[in-house]
């Protein structure tokens, strides 16, 4: 075969091989790219699922235990009940466990249902539903039925609502450590417009702002810090500047409100509950303080009750004082109000005026008229400074033996730095006294018992103000007074002294170098004679004669003071 023919045959072979194998190579390359894209898309879906599961972990009710969701049901039921009662204002309320959706269980997930029944208005239901869906939970309203026997104005509705939450097996374990659905704490002080102190903040955010519910109030907390001068680890919450805080008393319960991401920018007025069949009877009301002192401002509010929700209303004056203004606004509940303002001058004379307000309701040709309000401004009253009562320190309690003096000094402070005088309240024991100026108390009790003495302190203000503290004094008999040396004997070559306690009806046997304590006496036996025993009390040697009580211990007489002892009176060896 010629070279040219060989080249031609070789080229033909390459073409055939390329034609048969090329399609496979191209498919392999393009197929790998498609597989990579599919794998990447699958991983992205898995990552999104993990993120969602991580969110669900904190949105779930308490995890089921051995397939049972009793804890989740109890927490969810109590939360629904409190929300309907304190926020919704439902009457004749009952929240009972419902079906747990047994047919829809799967992979450890347990649906938890509760059924609510009660009486409420449209507005009550609106407030409840808004706060219900605002909570960051895996829950929903399964069914809602409202029945009314009247069509007039805003009637009471018979409400039946079924709510359902999910209990997931991987739920946050923090719910298992508390009895409530969300963390709660107790207020330890009355609130002001800026802050409030709470008992603790376990479960509440530390470094970020959060929202709490106290009764029907929802408050935004800007910061949280420990109260430095409190021994019980109290925490001070500072409210956000735009929070409107009504007075809250100590011991009220504050509950954390986790807000769902989709509800963070939503306000109640974004929702309207309209009953198209109701017959409304509008009524114009002007509320607020209508009598003030000169120099203060009137801040009144006009509103229309009994108007269809969502209908625009504007307000204007009829007869009114010169300089008074009115401004129509829409509050957070979506209701229209007329804000009335008038600043009086500090030097103007007392006076009165009549105020007329009209309301223009969308869809009505005539204005709505209310009863004229009577306004009055009076001369400023002279404020008399109030005399604050003095504060007395705690006195504690005392335990003494009869015949021993009880002494202490009472102390007190006065906010106005007035002159203080101390005295004993009625019922003080006989013989007790207290110095009026220094507060020094003294009493020598003679008989046993428990006595309560009340010390009072009063200031020099007008009228006089006083404070008091009580002290408990427990008086017992001196056992040393009733413990007598009854015998001095020798047993097995060792001297013994016998003491008899008449109060306890028992005998105490002492030997040399024995240490003992009776009543206020702590001593060591030095020597035992036939008619006396020598004790060492502190650094002093004292003698107790046969037949005497321990209370009669006395110094040992020198040889110059006593006659020479006979051999029979010398201490036993």
Quote the DSSP letter at residue 109.
Answer: B
Rounded to an integer, the average pLDDT of 223-231 is: 82
Rounded to an integer, the average pLDDT of 67-83 is: 89
Cα separation, 308 vs 173, whole angstroms: 47
Q: Do 288 and 374 fall into the same domain?
A: yes
pLDDT at residue number 569: 45
Which helix or strand (DSSP H or E) is residue 36 part of? Answer: helix 3-59
Domain final position from 131, 151, 176:
176
CA dist list (Å): 273 to 4, 81, 89, 304: 95, 22, 16, 17
Residue 460 lies in a domain: yes
Structure tokens at 69: 């969701």
Residue 7 lies in a domain: no
Q: Do 470 and 493 fall into the same domain?
A: no
Number of H helices, E strands in the chain: 3, 37
123-132, 142-151, 174-183, 557-566 — which is least confidently predicted?
Answer: 557-566
Cα separation, 516 vs 524, whole angstroms: 7
At which residue do the structure tokens 């007025």 appear? 269
Give the residue numbers spanning the domain of 154.
70-176
Find, among 495, 478, 482, 494, the residue nearest to 534 by Cα.
495
Q: Give the 3-state secondary structure of residue 73.
A: helix
Residue 2 lies in a domain: no
What residues have CB less than 8 Å from 374, skipping those under 6 apart? 290, 352, 353, 354, 355
568: pLDDT strictly greater than 50? no
Q: Do 370 and 311 fall into the same domain?
A: yes
Residue 384 lies in a domain: no
For 143: left if phi > 0, alpha if psi spans -120 to 50, otherwise beta; the answer is beta
Residue 471 lies in a domain: yes
105: pLDDT strictly greater than 60? no
Residue 328 lies in a domain: yes
pLDDT digits (tens, 9 = 90+) for 457-502: 999 888 889 999 999 999 887 777 778 888 888 888 899 998 888 8
Residue 556 lies in a domain: yes
> In sequence order, what are the beta bridge partners of 559?
none
pLDDT at residue number 470: 93
Domain final position from 121, 141, 176:
176
66-75, 115-124, 262-271, 407-416 — which is least confidently predicted?
Answer: 262-271
Q: Do 154 and 128 fall into the same domain?
A: yes
Cα separation, 458 vs 389, whole angstroms: 8
pLDDT at residue number 122: 84
Cα separation, 42 vs 527, whole angstroms: 100
Domain final position from 130, 158, 176:
176
Rounded to an integer, the average pLDDT of 279-283 is: 82
> In sequence order, what are the beta bridge partners of 20?
none
pLDDT at residue number 412: 93
pLDDT digits (tens, 9 = 90+) for 167-216: 888 777 777 778 899 999 999 888 888 889 999 888 899 889 999 999 99
At which residue do the structure tokens 């013994």 appear? 496
66-70, 160-164, 250-254, 259-263 — which is least confidently predicted?
Answer: 66-70
Q: What is the CATH number for 435?
A: 2.60.40.10
pLDDT at residue number 8: 55
Q: Do 325 and 402 fall into the same domain?
A: no
Residue 3 lies in a domain: no
User: pLDDT exceeding 70 applies to what percent of the chain?
Assistant: 84
Q: What is the CATH number for 161?
A: 3.30.70.60
Cα separation, 573 vs 560, whole angstroms: 24
137-151, 177-191, 450-464, 545-559 — which is least confidently predicted?
Answer: 545-559
CA dist list (Å): 117 to 62, 81, 406, 500: 24, 10, 66, 78
Q: Do 168 and 198 fall into the same domain?
A: no
335: pLDDT strictly greater than 80? yes
Average pLDDT over the chain reads: 83
pTM (two decimals): 0.45
Structure tokens at 409: 């000094």
21: pLDDT strictly greater than 70? no
Number of domains in the chain: 5
């Amino acid at each position: 075969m010629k070279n040219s023919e060989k080249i031609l045959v070789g080229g033909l072979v390459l073409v055939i091989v390329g034609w048969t194998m090329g399609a496979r190579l191209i498919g392999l390359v393009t197929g790998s790219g498609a597989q990579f894209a599919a794998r990447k898309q699958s991983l992205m879906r898995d990552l999104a699922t993990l993120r969602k599961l991580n969110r669900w972990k904190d949105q779930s009710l308490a995890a089921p235990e051995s397939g049972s969701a009793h804890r989740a049901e109890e927490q969810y039921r109590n939360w629904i009940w409190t929300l309907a009662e304190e926020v919704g204002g439902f009457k004749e309320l009952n929240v009972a466990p419902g079906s747990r959706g047994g047919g829809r269980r799967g992979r450890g997930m347990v649906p938890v249902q509760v059924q609510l029944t009660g009486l409420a208005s449209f507005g009550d239901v609106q407030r409840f539903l808004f706060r219900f869906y605002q909570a960051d939970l895996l829950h929903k309203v399964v069914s809602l039925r409202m029945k009314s026997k009247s069509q007039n104005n805003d009637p009471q509705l018979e409400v039946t609502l079924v709510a359902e939450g999910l209990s997931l097996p991987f739920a946050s374990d923090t719910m298992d450590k508390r009895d409530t659905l969300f963390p709660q704490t107790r207020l330890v002080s009355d609130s002001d417009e800026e802050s409030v102190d709470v008992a603790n903040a376990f479960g509440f955010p530390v470094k970020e702002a959060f929202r709490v519910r106290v009764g029907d109030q929802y408050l935004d907390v800007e910061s949280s810090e420990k109260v430095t001068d409190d021994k019980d680890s109290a925490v001070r919450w500072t409210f956000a500047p735009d929070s409107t805080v009504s007075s809250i008393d100590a011991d009220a319960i504050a509950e954390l409100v986790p807000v769902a991401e989709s509800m963070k920018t939503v306000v109640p007025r974004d929702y309207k509950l309209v009953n198209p069949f109701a017959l409304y009877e509008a009524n114009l009301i002007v509320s607020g303080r209508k009598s003030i002192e000169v120099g203060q401002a009137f801040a009144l509010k006009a509103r229309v009750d009994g108007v269809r929700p969502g209908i625009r209303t504007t307000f204007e004056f009829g007869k009114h004082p010169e300089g008074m203004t009115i401004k129509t606004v829409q509050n957070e509940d979506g209701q229209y109000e007329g804000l009335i303002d008038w600043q009086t001058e500090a030097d103007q004379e007392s006076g009165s005026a009549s105020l007329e307000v009209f309301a223009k309701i969308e869809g009505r040709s005539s204005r709505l008229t209310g009863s004229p309000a009577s306004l009055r401004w009076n001369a400023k009253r002279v404020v008399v400074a109030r005399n604050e009562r003095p504060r007395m320190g705690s006195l504690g309690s005392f335990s003494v033996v009869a015949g021993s003096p009880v002494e202490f000094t009472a102390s007190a402070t006065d906010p106005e730095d007035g002159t203080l005088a101390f005295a004993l309240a009625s019922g003080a024991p006989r013989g007790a006294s207290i110095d009026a100026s220094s507060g020094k108390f003294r009493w020598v009790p003679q008989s046993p018992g428990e006595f309560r003495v009340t010390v009072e302190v009063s200031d020099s203000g007008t009228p006089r103000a006083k404070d008091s503290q009580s002290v408990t004094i427990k008086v017992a008999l001196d056992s040393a007074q009733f413990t007598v040396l009854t015998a001095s004997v020798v047993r097995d070559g060792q001297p013994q002294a016998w003491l008899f306690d008449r109060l306890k009806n028992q005998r105490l046997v002492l030997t040399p170098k024995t240490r003992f304590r009776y009543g206020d006496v702590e001593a060591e036996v030095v020597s035992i004679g036939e008619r006396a025993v020598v004790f060492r009390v502190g650094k002093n040697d004292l003698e107790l004669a046969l037949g005497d009580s321990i209370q009669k211990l006395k110094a040992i007489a020198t040889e110059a003071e006593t006659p020479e002892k006979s051999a029979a009176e010398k201490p036993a060896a």
